């Protein structure tokens, strides 16, 4: 009888394989830096060797705080090769938040980019380490390798790698070992670390890539370029872009931060084939090219597909982008706890306004408050099960049990399935507005308000009200040329569009809406500003 299986799998084997088969293919483009698969593999081997030399053992947690730079994939794959768990940090965190994440994750080492003027990342990390004694190793990634920073108690990346060769063995992790730990945004309570396994991530890479296969000539996949403007510490960029592209031996073009002008110029210069962003990025790019009369014909020639994730995409915005860039926009759905779970897939006709259908091997169902399954068309909580679901929340068995009730992962998002099996998000549970006992879903209102000729960007929240419990308020950024449009005009128009219990009672015009590091509108910040 078989008692021991030689089962091992490590997702770092993807770049190891490509380095062996096609070492000269370009894997990463980051500014002037171009890394082939051979170079990326050798550099990550050095990181793995250095981690082992500094006492990092398989299963230890290692954190990285870094923008979209060439350092990121080098350190990522080095951590994985050593058998350690990769823990990416939001680059905008302050010392208190960094210390919390270091302590909560039990990270034994922290790689941190030096920073830029106005964002001294390494200095803030250094301050945090005083309150995180468990983290023994602090490695700074210099902004200028020729002039490395001098931070007491820290090693530079060059010092860390000194004496380490470019060859290393991948630790034989088991398929269900934790590979990465992504932290939830912490919109309710403290952020939690979602443990993602090597098996789960590999399945995500395989089946998310399958969604794109109709747009790719697989014989030429080495030339397929994907632009990454969302931060790599976020699941959309890390899993659905970097992970998928590295699996398929394509090229990831990294921008250190999103900027519409830089995004458009990079699309033209690098002849980008695919891009993924959140709706506010699409809005910014569309506004930039329209306001500056940018000729996007060369982008339209190469941009095979654009993908949307992380937040619901207004249908009107999707239509405008598709018309301008002559491309397809596919909306999908994922979370830190799942990676990619559902997508509009080109094997069937996409349905704008939906997040498509589950990936192969993934099931979706809609449940009510008592965890009873709801029929087609009824709105409830969206729940998933399958290979995409996390292992659990690190050190939080109660939170894990609550999220995994009855064998289904409960997302906290409200939605419904139509008769063709397409999934639609109505809203987050926490964003639901209950006005006088009636449920009002902000996304529905936002979708319609975006069709008003004066509205460029909008978000809707609930505000406290003595009589109704909550009232509906819309924050609006106007389009150029509509300065004279008044609140009263929008209110009157809204009354014609919505039932009496749901139309916005308050309108506030703003020059801009607060946008978080992943590109989402920060509704919590708007609530706090009232």
3-state SS, one letter per residue, for 406-420: HHCEEEEEEEEECCC
Pairing mode of beta strands 380-386, 409-417: antiparallel
C-alpha span between 465 and 4 (Å, rounded): 63
Return the number of other C-beta atoms located less than 10 Å from residue 372's C-beta: 9
Mean pLDDT of 31-53: 96
Closest residue by Cα to residue 207 from 384, 312, 14, 343: 343
Q: How far apart are CA 338 and CA 166, in angstroms?
A: 33
User: CB–CB of 201/243 below 8 Å?
Assistant: yes
What pLDDT score was predicted for residue 92?
Answer: 82
pLDDT at position 517 = 65
pLDDT tens by residue, 215-272: 665 544 557 899 999 889 988 899 989 999 999 899 999 999 889 999 999 999 999 9
Exposed, middle or buried: residue 316 (CB in 10 Å: 0-12, 13-18, 19+)?
middle
Query: Which domains occur in the chain, in start order?
Result: 36-173 (3.40.50.980), 220-232+250-428 (3.40.50.12780), 432-528 (3.30.300.30)
pLDDT at 253: 97
Tokens of 161: 């790698």
User: Which pLDDT tens digit goes with each residue over 129-169?
Assistant: 999 999 999 999 999 887 777 787 789 999 999 999 899 89
Residue 1 has pLDDT above 60, yes or no: no
Average pLDDT for 392-413: 93
Q: Is the Cβ–Cβ distance between 326 and 374 less than 8 Å?
A: no
More confident residue, 449 or 62: 62
Euclidean distance between CA atoms 300 and 119, whole angstroms: 35
- The Cα 462–Cα 416 span in angstroms is 22
214-218, 411-415, 509-513: lowest mean pLDDT where? 214-218
Contacts of 484 (CB under 8 A, 6+ apart): none
Q: What distances in angstroms separate CA 216 from CA 222, 223, 297, 381, one per listed residue?
A: 10, 10, 20, 35
Q: Specify the pLDDT at position 3.
A: 52
- In this prediction the pTM is 0.82
* Average pLDDT of the segment spanning 372-395: 94
């Amino acid at each position: 009888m078989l008692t021991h299986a030689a089962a091992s799998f490590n997702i770092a084997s993807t770049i190891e394989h490509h380095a062996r088969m096609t070492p000269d293919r370009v894997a990463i483009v980051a500014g002037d830096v171009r890394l082939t698969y051979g170079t990326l593999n050798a550099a990550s081997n050095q990181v793995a060797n250095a981690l082992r030399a500094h006492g990092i053992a398989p299963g230890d947690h290692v954190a990285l705080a870094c923008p979209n730079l060439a350092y990121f994939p080098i350190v990522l794959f080095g951590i994985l090769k050593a058998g350690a768990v990769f823990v990416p940090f939001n680059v905008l965190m302050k010392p208190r938040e960094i210390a919390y994440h270091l302590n909560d994750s039990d990270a034994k080492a922290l790689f941190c980019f030096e920073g830029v003027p106005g964002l001294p990342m390494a200095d803030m990390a250094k301050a945090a380490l005083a309150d995180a004694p468990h983290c023994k190793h602090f490695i700074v990634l210099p902004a200028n390798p020729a002039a490395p920073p001098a931070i007491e108690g820290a090693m530079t990346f060059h010092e860390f790698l000194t004496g380490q060769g470019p060859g290393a063995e991948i630790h034989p992790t088991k398929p269900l070992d934790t590979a990465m730990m992504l932290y939830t945004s912490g919109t309710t309570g403290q952020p939690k670390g979602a443990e993602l396994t090597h098996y789960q991530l590999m399945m995500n890479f395989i089946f998310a890539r399958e969604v794109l296969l109709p747009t790719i000539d697989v014989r030429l996949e080495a030339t397929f370029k994907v632009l990454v403007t969302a931060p790599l510490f976020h699941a959309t960029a890390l899993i659905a872009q970097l992970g998928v592209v590295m699996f398929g031996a394509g090229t990831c073009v990294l921008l250190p931060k999103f900027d519409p002008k830089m995004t458009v110029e990079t699309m033209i210069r690098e002849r980008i084939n695919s891009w993924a962003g959140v709706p506010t990025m699409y809005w910014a790019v569309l506004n930039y090219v329209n306001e500056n009369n940018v000729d996007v014909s060369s982008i339209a020639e190469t941009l095979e597909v654009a993908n949307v994730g992380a937040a619901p995409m207004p249908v009107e915005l999707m239509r405008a982008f598709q018309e301008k860039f002559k491309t397809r926009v596919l909306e999908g759905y994922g979370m830190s706890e799942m990676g990619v779970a559902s997508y509009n897939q080109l094997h069937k006709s996409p349905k704008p306004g939906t997040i498509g259908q589950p990936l192969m091997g993934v099931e979706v169902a809609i449940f009510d408050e008592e965890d009873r399954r709801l029929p087609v068309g009824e709105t409830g909580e969206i729940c998933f099960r399958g290979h995409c679901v996390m292992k659990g929340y690190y050190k939080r068995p109660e939170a894990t049990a609550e999220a995994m009730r009855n064998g289904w992962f409960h997302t906290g998002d409200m939605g419904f399935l139509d008769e063709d099996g397409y999934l639609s998000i109505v809203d987050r549970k926490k964003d639901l507005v209950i006005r006088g006992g009636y449920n009002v879903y902000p996304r529905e209102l936002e979708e319609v308000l975006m069709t008003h000729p004066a509205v460029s960007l909008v978000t809707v929240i609930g505000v406290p009200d003595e009589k109704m419990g909550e009232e509906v308020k819309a924050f609006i950024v106007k389009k150029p040329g509509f300065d004279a449009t008044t609140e009263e005009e929008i209110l009157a128009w809204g009354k014609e569009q919505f039932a009496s219990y749901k139309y916005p009672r308050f309108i506030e015009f703003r020059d801009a809406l607060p946008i978080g590091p992943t590109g989402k509108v920060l509704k919590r910040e708007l609530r706090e500003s009232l």
